[in-house]
Chain A
Amino acid sequence: MHPVTTVHYLALSAALLLIGTVGVLTRRSIVIILMSIELILNAVNINLVAFSRQAHAVHGQIFAIFVIVDAVAEAAVGLGILIALFRNKETVLADEIDLLKW
């Protein structure tokens, strides 16, 4: 059994960042895009906690708590905006939201 080191966590975090970014750029449904953004924020959290453990310091974990709180606030506001849009347009697909363009 290999011990789990910081590098393993960084690899996991980089993978999540990649999956999240591809998700934001390619998916049509705005709900999935929101989930992909949450995925990137969690990649950040894994990074922060891994570095915090490596350095035996608590700062990274405190930062991660702030990130979690922020993710919740963002999700609440994001879903609120999406519901307001859905009431007027009856769609949650990114490519059908196209009133504003030149």
Chain B
Amino acid sequence: MPVNFGATATDLIRFLPEIILTVMGTALMVLDPVLHKRASHAFGHLSIFALLAGIGGAVYAQSNPGTAFGGMLVVDGFATYFRVLVMVVGILTILPSYGFLARQQAETSEYHALLLFSIAGQCMMAAANDLIIVFIGLEISSISSYVLAGYLRDDKRSNEAALKYFLLGSFATAFFLYGVAITYGTVGTVNLTAIRAALSGADAPPVVFITLAAALMFVGLGFKVSAAPFQVWAPDVYQGAPTPVAAFLSAGPKAAAFAVFLRIFLTAFGPIGADWLPLVWMAALLSMTVGNFAALMQTNVKRMLAYSSIAHAGYVLVALTAQSDTGTAAAMFYLAAYAFMNIGAFAVVSHVSGRGERYQNIDDLAGLGRKQPMMAAMLTIFLLSLIGVPLTGGFFGKFYIFKAALESHLVWLAVLGLLNSAVAAYYYLRILVMVYMHEPGEAAGQTEPLTPGFRLALILPALGTLFLGIFPTWVLDCAGKSATLVK
């Protein structure tokens, strides 16, 4: 059978964001000798420009939705939502990176090029409709992230974070691939839509092998979203990685991995939903509990945020457990809200920790409210949103997730999730107490003044968090419309 490998113009337009990001990433590396030293900020400006162009490309591609490259890629509302989300995460990561890289004297083009490549991989994951594309996108995103985690190569902690991330990451990918191979052998195809058709057909293959494949792929993806029991890497990596990179890792790759998670498990493995359900709710419950209780005991802010990110992955898994369009929409909304509040919180930590990232402990935030009232106010918004206080994006995120769980008759899971949120409030409030009710310590005294770029890096996520909390309907409508397209 002859296969047509020629790409049509429509194919290329539907692949536009990835093309823009990879071309710009490569261009940055080529421009490095020209721009280096003289205008090192230009790398950041160019990356932000590339990401804005990428968002434009994604929105333009959405004007003519459909599949591309013979069904390998699909542009629908779901794909566009996540593509735009990961590119916004990219912009929010670059804004605090200006100051960070200048402080560490490590402004190079590689940092931005790797970031763009990683985001290109995540865009590919969001639009993947074939396990080959899922795999390639996952690896483009992951391999760039491994290097980013070790970006400060003279810093032992950064080296160690990169190595741990790399070893456990490639181990998890290998398991994911083994699951893909078994799927291919049992169903005879790796196209997600075709797998769904084969599984719901009359002569469906034995469910034992498919469940085994789903379990292996669950291990791989569970690692990428840092869900328990595959979460051990997250605290070490978030603590050791450069802070803006940790912010990026906790939002971008996680959102893309959840996009893949939803698409594979609800589209391809939707017909055998009852068989994989126990895996997901166990992981959800374990992630929430392990994340929140371990976060209670942390003294390092980045490590605490890492454990909290594990708990948040658990909440999103609750939405997946619901196996409904409401659940999918809730997960999509939550990931957007989470991206804003978490990146904002990491940006504050990045600024306070200072040169060489010395001040990372919760005690180092003492008296921030007096020394840096504006930054403390922003941190308050992010932390309240992470707790899930009304008028913030975090509140509606949790609200819709637990609503979806209740609609799918998972009352006990919703109750346990709510109890977990109450535990979480303790460790977030502990930071606020430190910020407002303690005398300024050594760290707060030495914090550098805010630059206009960094103000923007704080204000944008704060506005995003508040916007999602006060006017949630707009984003929720987008998510709701796209969620029905997952099948």
Q: Using a CB–CB distance below 8 Å, which chain A residues touch chain B?
A: 10, 13, 17, 20, 24, 30, 33-34, 37, 40-41, 43-44, 47-48, 50-51, 54-55, 57, 59-60, 62-63, 66-67, 70, 73-74, 77-78, 80-82, 84-85, 88-89, 97, 99-102
B interface, over-half SS:
helix
- Top 5 nearest A-B pairs by Cβ distance? A51-B185, A47-B181, A40-B174, A85-B159, A100-B236
Taking a contact as CB atoms closer than 8 A, the residue among B136, B174, B180, B297 that contacts A37 in the complex is: B174
Interface pair B181/A48, CB less than 8 Å apart? yes
Interface pair B170/A37, CB less than 8 Å apart? yes
Our count of residue pairs bridging A and B at CB distance below 8 angstroms stands at: 121
- Can you offer 18 A-B residue contacts whose CB atoms are under 8 A? A30-B163, A30-B167, A37-B171, A43-B178, A44-B180, A50-B185, A51-B181, A63-B132, A70-B135, A77-B143, A78-B166, A80-B147, A81-B147, A81-B162, A81-B163, A85-B156, A85-B159, A97-B163
* Chain A positions within 8 Å of B300 at CB level: 102
* Chain A positions within 8 Å of B162 at CB level: 81, 84-85
Q: 15 extra interchain contacts, Cβ-Cβ under 8 A, other than A47-B178, A101-B236? A: A30-B167, A41-B177, A43-B178, A44-B174, A48-B181, A51-B185, A59-B189, A73-B139, A73-B143, A78-B146, A78-B170, A80-B147, A85-B160, A88-B156, A97-B163
Interface pair A44/B177, CB less than 8 Å apart? yes
Question: Is B10 positioned at the interface, with any CB of A under 8 Å from its CB?
Answer: no
Nearest B-chain residue to A49, judged by Cβ: B181
* Chain B positions within 8 Å of A66 at CB level: 132, 135-136
Interface residues of B in 142-179 (CB under 8 A from A): 143, 146-147, 150, 153-157, 159-164, 166-167, 170-171, 173-175, 177-178
What separation, in Å, do the CA atoms of A17 and B146 have in the docked complex? 24
Minimum Cβ distance to chain B for residue A48 (Å): 5
What separation, in Å, do the CA atoms of A44 and B265 have in the docked complex? 21
Interface pair A102/B170, CB less than 8 Å apart? no
A interface, over-half SS:
helix
* Chain B positions within 8 Å of A30 at CB level: 163, 167
* Chain A positions within 8 Å of B239 at CB level: 100
- Known contacts: A41-B174, A73-B143, A82-B163. The answer to whether A102 contacts B303 by CB under 8 A is yes
Nearest B-chain residue to A89, judged by Cβ: B156
Minimum Cβ distance to chain B for residue A81 (Å): 5
- Known contacts: A81-B147, A81-B162. The answer to whether A33 contacts B167 by CB under 8 A is yes
Interface pair A51/B135, CB less than 8 Å apart? no
